[in-house]
């Protein structure tokens, strides 16, 4: 059986796309393995875009509460905050010394903002190296990723391969795990659902706000009486991702027959979202109302994660010639 690892940035509260495309499939994959999986909140990565400490902390707890509300079992798996394991930043430095500049310059996380280099921090440029350290530090074998992270995992494999060739076999080469049917979920404007586009659906938050967001989903001007193409409709695509198969087929036939308006479809979508995530919504509220309980879970997970991290980093330090496994003390 294989070790699963995944993480989500604390750059904002997870949305429907995160739940269906990353969180739920990662938990399902972890439960299919006999060995504990590693789940982390990537708060160090979030520093590339967030400068408000209170916002970062709030987002971190929101992400943690979401994972737990969606069924992550912290007693069985290792659930922790990235910044609570300092070994990851040390490993990132060692890996960066083997990472060629062109590899990072071709990374999409950099190229998306390269037109205005004044806005590009060193952290954003070396983002893929820290991501590689996240994965390799725990000797992960299976990494659930979305389509937008595929390149970063390829970079991780390249960096690990370079290290192994230079210093001897040290790291396992992780394999990506994709879930094709929810790889790219549309947002309310039709583009990929993303916090950066402000087109997300917060299915664990306030229901009135969710209802308003659903009603804002962009549709074409086809009259109510006319037949409609379900595959070209954002409302239908979202409905198909959360509703039972029989209900999805029923809506499909209504689209094709005509006499069924987008307003009706939006109401059906809202009801599907309300019902599908009702248990998770309640669990999320409970975790968010007790941050001390959430913090205890993360600290216990950090201790487990550090146990593995220290072992891996010890082997790395020996391999590269840093023979002292203990940190020097200042006098």
Instruction: Kindly state whether residue 95 falls inside one of the protein's structural domains.
Output: yes
H/E segment holding residue 142: strand 142-144
Instruction: Kindly state whether residue 212 falls inside one of the protein's structural domains.
Output: yes
35 and 117 fall within a common domain: yes
178 and 48 fall within a common domain: yes
83 and 224 fall within a common domain: no
135 and 248 fall within a common domain: no
63 and 162 fall within a common domain: yes
Is 195 labeled as catalytic in the residue annotation? yes
Phi, psi for 78 (deg, rounded to 5):
-100, 110
Q: Return the pLDDT at 331.
A: 41
Is 192 labeled as catalytic in the residue annotation? yes
Per-residue confidence of the chain (331 residues) as pLDDT tens digits?
A: 799 999 999 988 999 999 998 899 899 999 999 999 999 999 999 999 999 999 999 999 999 999 999 999 999 999 999 999 999 999 999 999 999 999 999 998 788 777 788 888 999 999 999 999 999 999 999 998 877 778 889 999 999 999 999 999 999 999 998 866 555 789 999 999 998 899 999 999 999 999 999 999 999 999 999 999 999 999 999 999 999 999 999 999 999 999 999 999 999 999 999 999 999 999 999 999 999 999 999 999 999 999 999 999 999 999 999 976 555 544 4
Cβ 155 vs Cβ 128: under 8 Å: yes
Q: Report which of 329, 161, 155, 190 is spatially closest to residue 145, judged by C-alpha positions.
A: 155
* CATH number assigned to the domain comprising residue 243: 1.10.240.10
Catalytic choice (113, 150, 172, 215): 113
Q: Return the pLDDT at 330.
A: 47
98 and 244 fall within a common domain: no
Q: Return the pLDDT at 327.
A: 55
CB-neighbour burial class of residue 10 (10 A; exposed 0-12, middle 13-18, buried 19+): buried
61 and 100 fall within a common domain: yes
Instruction: Kindly state whether residue 286 falls inside one of the protein's structural domains.
Output: no
Q: Return the pLDDT at 324.
A: 62
> What total number of domains does the chain contain?
2
Two tokens, residue 24? 């739920």
Instruction: Kindly state whether residue 91 falls inside one of the protein's structural domains.
Output: yes
CB-neighbour burial class of residue 38 (10 A; exposed 0-12, middle 13-18, buried 19+): buried
* DSSP conformation class of 192: B
Instruction: Kindly state whether residue 16 falls inside one of the protein's structural domains.
Output: yes
Catalytic choice (13, 195, 228, 266): 195
Q: Return the pLDDT at 180.
A: 66
53 and 170 fall within a common domain: yes
CA-CA distance, 76 to 79, in Å (whole number)? 9
* CATH number assigned to the domain comprising residue 24: 3.40.50.620
Instruction: Kindly state whether residue 198 falls inside one of the protein's structural domains.
Output: no
Instruction: Kindly state whether residue 89 falls inside one of the protein's structural domains.
Output: yes
Q: Return the pLDDT at 12.
A: 87
Q: Return the pLDDT at 220.
A: 96
The residues near 16 (Cβ < 8 Å, ≥ 6 apart) are 185, 193, 200, 201, 202, 203, 238, 241, 242, 273
Catalytic choice (13, 111, 172, 192): 192
CA-CA distance, 139 to 309, in Å (whole number)? 9
Cα-only R_g, the chain: 22
214 and 249 fall within a common domain: yes
42 and 159 fall within a common domain: yes
244 and 306 fall within a common domain: no
Q: Return the pLDDT at 70.
A: 97
Q: What is the pTM of this model?
A: 0.91
Phi, psi for 106 (deg, rounded to 5):
-90, -5
Instruction: Kindly state whether residue 86 falls inside one of the protein's structural domains.
Output: yes
Cβ atoms within 10 Å of 142's Cβ, excluding its own: 20
- Range of the structural domain that residue 244 is part of: 205-276
Number of helices and strands in the chain (H, E): 16, 5
174 and 103 fall within a common domain: yes
Two tokens, residue 257? 């027959």
Two tokens, residue 216? 């804002």
């Amino acid at each position: 059986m294989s070790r699963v690892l995944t993480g989500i940035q604390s750059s904002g509260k997870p949305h429907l796309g995160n739940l269906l495309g990353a969180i739920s499939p990662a938990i399902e994959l972890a439960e299919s393995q006999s060995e504990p999986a590693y789940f982390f909140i990537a708060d160090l990565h979030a520093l590339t875009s967030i400068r408000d400490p209170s916002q970062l902390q709030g987002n971190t707890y929101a992400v943690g509460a979401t994972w737990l509300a969606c069924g992550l079992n912290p007693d069985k798996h290792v659930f922790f905050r990235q910044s609570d394991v300092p070994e990851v930043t040390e490993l990132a430095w060692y890996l960066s010394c083997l990472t060629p500049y062109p590899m990072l310059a071709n990374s999409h996380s950099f190229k998306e903002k390269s037109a205005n280099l004044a806005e590009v921090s060193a952290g954003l440029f070396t983002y893929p190296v820290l991501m590689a350290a996240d994965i390799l530090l725990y000797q992960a074998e299976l990494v659930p990723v979305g389509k937008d992270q595929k390149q970063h995992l390829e970079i991780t494999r390249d960096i690990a391969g370079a290290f192994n060739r230079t210093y001897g076999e040290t790291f396992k080469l992780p394999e990506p795990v994709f879930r094709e049917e929810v790889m790219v979920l549309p947002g309310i404007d039709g583009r990929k659902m993303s916090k950066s586009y402000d087109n997300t659906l917060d299915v664990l938050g306030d229901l009135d706000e969710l209802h308003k967001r659903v009603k804002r989903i962009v549709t074409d001007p086809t009259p109510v009486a006319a037949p409609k193409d379900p595959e070209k409709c954002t409302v239908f695509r979202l409905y198909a991702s959360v509703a039972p198969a029989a209900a999805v087929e029923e809506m499909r036939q209504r689209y094709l027959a005509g006499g069924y308006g987008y307003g009706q479809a939006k109401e059906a979508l809202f009801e599907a979202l309300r019902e599908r995530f009702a248990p998770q919504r309640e669990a999320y509220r409970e975790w968010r109302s007790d941050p001390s309980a959430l913090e205890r879970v993360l600290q216990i997970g950090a201790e487990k994660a550090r146990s593995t991290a220290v072992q891996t980093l010890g082997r790395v330090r020996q391999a590269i010639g840093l023979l002292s496994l203990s940190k020097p003390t200042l006098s």
